[in-house]
């Protein structure tokens, strides 16, 4: 079993082309192991909001996690204006390397099962009705670019991945906001994190590639949390545990599509 610091090595993963491919990626991501212990002295030069956040989110001395396995439930809407549907999901995230999100969306009369994933620069979506009839199968440059942006903003679920190192750097925005730059497959992604005086994350936003607009044309659009209503400490990490996300938060035409609560988080 490979063991290494996630900031110092590029881990080649299997490309996802099917449900079995997603399982192989999941297995590969789960082998990305903890790194060196978190030392608060390593972040003394960061902007004040970034220092508050990392000291609040990571217990000193905790090994820097290589991946996180989340279990969640909640609701999601499939398109603007549609009804909220019950959702259960699990996800593995290894920031800078990849993710797999497996979910079941079950209104009373239907059952959709599928996954979104990213690894080795390739994004993929596969969704089926009753686990039999394929209703969405998508890949290609636009899907991959959007999935890489998603991986960057979801690094908040593994705070140790945001400790500065190769591929991760911070800059100040204002007294309560800091911007973290994350390299994924050599491309930089910027995520703005708003932090309160206690170090709690209150907002995460970025510009993300997508086509969730009236014209259905791909381009950069604002994306992130509409709300972070609660946080929980799992082991030695504190992460958002009740939140909603979507496109264009705070704009005139928002699309808030996911409302989720984290039931469990395992770090490794």
Picking from 152, 170, 158, the residue whose alpha carbon sits closest to that of residue 206 is 152
Phi first, then psi: what are they for 168, rounded to 5°?
Answer: -135, 125
pLDDT digits (tens, 9 = 90+) for 232-242: 999 999 999 99
Please answer whether residues 156 and 193 qualify as being in contact, where contact means their C-beta atoms are separated by less than 8 angstroms.
yes
d(CA 195, CA 49): 6
Give the residue extent of every domain in the chain: 19-267
CATH of 19-267, one of 1.20.1410, 2.40.30, 3.10.540, 2.50.20: 2.50.20
The tens place of each residue's pLDDT in the chain, 268 residues long, gives: 222 223 322 333 333 334 558 999 999 999 998 889 999 999 999 999 999 999 999 999 999 879 999 999 999 998 888 889 999 999 999 999 999 999 999 876 788 899 999 999 999 999 998 877 888 899 999 999 999 999 999 999 999 999 999 899 999 999 999 999 999 999 999 999 999 999 999 999 999 999 988 888 999 999 999 999 999 999 999 999 999 999 999 998 999 999 999 999 999 8
First to last CA, the chain: 13
């Amino acid at each position: 079993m490979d063991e290494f610091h996630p900031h110092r090595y590029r881990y080649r993963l299997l490309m996802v082309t099917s449900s079995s491919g997603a399982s192989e990626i999941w297995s590969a991501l789960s082998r990305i192991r903890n790194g060196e212990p978190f030392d608060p002295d390593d972040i003394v030069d960061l902007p004040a909001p970034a220092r508050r956040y990392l000291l609040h989110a990571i217990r000193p001395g905790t090994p820097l996690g290589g991946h996180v396995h989340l279990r969640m439930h909640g609701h999601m809407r499939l398109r603007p204006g549609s009804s909220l549907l019950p959702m259960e999901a699990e996800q593995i995230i290894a920031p800078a390397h990849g993710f797999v999100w497996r979910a079941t969306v079950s209104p009373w009369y239907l059952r959709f099962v599928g996954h979104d994933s990213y690894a080795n620069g390739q994004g993929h979506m596969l969704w089926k009705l009753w686990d039999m009839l394929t209703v969405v199968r998508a890949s290609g440059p636009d899907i991959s670019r959007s999935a890489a942006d998603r991986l960057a903003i979801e690094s908040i679920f593994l705070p140790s991945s945001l400790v500065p190192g190769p591929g991760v750097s911070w800059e100040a925005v204002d007294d309560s906001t800091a911007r973290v730059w994350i390299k994924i497959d050599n491309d930089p992604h910027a995520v703005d994190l708003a932090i309160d005086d206690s170090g709690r994350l209150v907002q995460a936003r970025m510009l993300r590639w997508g086509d969730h607009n009236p014209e259905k044309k791909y381009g950069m659009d604002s994306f992130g949390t509409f709300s972070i209503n609660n946080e929980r400490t799992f082991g030695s990490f504190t992460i958002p545990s009740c939140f909603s996300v979507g496109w264009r938060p705070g704009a005139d035409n928002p699309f808030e599509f996911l409302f989720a609560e984290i039931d469990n988080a395992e770090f490794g």
